[in-house]
A and B are shown apart, each in its own frame.
Chain A
Amino acid sequence: MAFASKSPWVIHYDGSSCNGCDIEVLATLCPGFDGERFGVINTGNPKHADIFLVTGSINEQNIEVVRQIYDQMVEPKVVVACGICACTGGIFHDCYNVLGGVDKAIPVDVYAPGCAVRPEALIDAIVQGIAVLDEKSAALEQKKKEGVA
Chain B
Amino acid sequence: MSKATIIPFGPQHPVLPEPLHLDLVVEDETVVEAIPQIGFVHRGLEKLVETRDYNQFIYVAERICGICAFGHSLGYAETVEALMGVEVPKRAEYLRVIWHEISRIHSHLLWLGLAADAFGFESLFMHCWRLRERVLDIFEKTTGGRVILSVVSVGGVNRDIDSTQMDEILHILDGIEDDYRQIMQVMLTDASVKNRTVGVGHISYEDAVSLCMVGPFARASNVAYDVRMFGHGGYGELSDFRPLCATEGDCYARVKVRCEEVLQSIAIVKEMAAKIPAGDIAVPVKGSPAAGAESANILEQPRGECYYYARGNGTKYLDRMRMRTPTSQNLAGMVSVLEGCDLADVNMIILTIDPCISCTER
Contacts and interface: CB of A to CB of B under 8 A. Distances in A.
Q: Let me know if chains A and B touch directly in the complex, using CB atoms closer than 8 Å.
A: yes
Interface of A: 11-27, 30-32, 43-44, 46, 56-57, 59, 61-62, 65, 69, 91-92, 94-98, 115-116, 118
B69 A59 contact: no
5 contacts: A30-B125, A62-B40, A95-B47, A98-B44, A118-B146
Lowest 3 CB-CB distances: which A-B pairs, in order?
A20-B66, A44-B14, A32-B133
A19 B42 contact: no
Nearest to B40: A62
Interface residues of B, number: 38
Contacts of A27: 129, 132-133, 136
Interface in B204-229: none
A19 B146 contact: no
What secondary structure prevails in chain B residues at the interface with A? loop
Interface of B: 11-14, 17-19, 39-45, 47-48, 51, 59-60, 63-67, 69, 110, 125-126, 129-130, 132-133, 136, 146-148, 356, 358
B45 A95 contact: yes
B148 A116 contact: yes
Nearest to B42: A97
B146 to A, nearest CB: 7
Given A31-B129, A116-B147, A19 B48 contact: no
Contact of B17 (A26, A32, A69): A26
Contact of A24 (B51, B65, B146): B146
B179 to A, nearest CB: 12
A53 B225 CA distance: 39
Contact of B42 (A11, A14, A24, A61): A61
Contacts of B126: 30-31
Contacts of B136: 27
Contact of A18 (B11, B44, B65): B65
A129 B26 CA distance: 41
A95 B44 CA distance: 6
Contacts of A59: 40-43
Given A62-B11, A65-B12, 12 more contacts: A13-B12, A14-B358, A15-B41, A16-B40, A19-B356, A32-B133, A46-B12, A59-B41, A59-B42, A62-B19, A62-B40, A97-B43
B66 A116 contact: yes
